């Protein structure tokens, strides 16, 4: 049994062979200049501090031989899996599917969708393309976790208040005990990240737990 004694709001326990890492959307489109994040008017440099802790977390799971899932938010080239309301929302100059500096924005197979080099998946690690904010919606994630007999998840990635939080809440509703890696997640709005961390652990951990990457690595 793994125990993260310093987790919030109280110690996090997980069977050693039943825990997996889900790394959310560490894509060029969100983390690099010229991608969709920047097209929405965001300062993408605010996400950079989470890359090194995320890399250490990945390395720890790899050393331990534990399952790893990477996700990418993207859509089919014909946009058949992108609701018009999603594509049309906002007032920015670029929308999903439009040509951008790194290919068509959030379209599967385009350079901007790829995970950044520092966190690139390795052979044997699962990569799931998701059309929504949550990693369970319209994907095979649930089936994959069941195949691994996983009951506990460590969740990291970007952005904290959008795809990370949505995935964490989806997982919670499906019965997974989740811990959010505090320094391996980030937001374009730091106050939003802190709000999510506080919401997760409120009311006795109503959605899950949080812990630092160092605390997680101690038990891995």
Which residues are identified as catalytic?
25, 130, 163
Handedness of CA 77, 79, 81, 86 (dihedral sign): positive
Which token pair is 24?
A: 């959310």
Question: What is the full DSSP assignment across 126-158?
Answer: EEEEESSSSSSTTSSHHHHHHHTT--EEEEEEE
Phi, psi of 71 (to 5 degrees): -120, 155
Query: Quick one: 158 exposed, middle or buried, by C-beta within 10 A (0-12, 13-18, 19+)?
Result: buried
3-state DSSP call for residue 82? coil
Q: Find, among 8, 49, 44, the residue nearest to 199 by Cα.
A: 8
Q: Which residue has tokens 């100059």?
A: 93
Classify the phi-psi angles of 30: left when phi > 0, otherwise alpha if psi is within -120 to 50, otherwise beta. Answer: alpha
Which token pair is 158?
A: 């970007």
């Amino acid at each position: 049994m793994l125990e993260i004694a310093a987790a919030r709001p109280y110690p996090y326990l997980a069977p050693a062979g039943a825990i997996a890492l889900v790394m959310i959307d560490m894509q060029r489109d969100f983390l690099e200049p010229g991608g969709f994040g920047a097209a929405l008017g965001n300062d993408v440099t605010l996400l950079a501090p989470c890359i090194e802790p995320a890399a250490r977390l990945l390395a720890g799971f790899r050393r331990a031989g534990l399952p790893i899932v990477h996700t990418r938010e993207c859509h089919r080239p014909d946009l058949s899996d992108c609701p018009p309301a999603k594509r049309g929302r906002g007032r920015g100059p670029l929308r999903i599917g439009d040509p951008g500096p790194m290919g068509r924005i959030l379209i599967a197979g385009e350079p901007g969708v790829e995970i950044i080099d520092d966190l690139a998946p390795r052979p044997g690690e699962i990569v799931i393309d998701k059309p929504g904010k949550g990693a369970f919606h319209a994907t095979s994630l649930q089936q994959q976790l069941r195949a691994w007999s996983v009951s506990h998840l460590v969740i990291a990635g970007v952005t904290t208040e959008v795809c990370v939080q949505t995935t964490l809440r989806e997982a919670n509703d499906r019965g997974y005990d989740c811990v959010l890696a505090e320094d391996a997640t980030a937001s374009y709005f730091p106050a939003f990240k802190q709000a999510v961390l506080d919401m997760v652990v409120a009311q006795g951990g109503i959605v899950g737990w949080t812990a630092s990457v160092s605390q997680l690595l101690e038990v891995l």
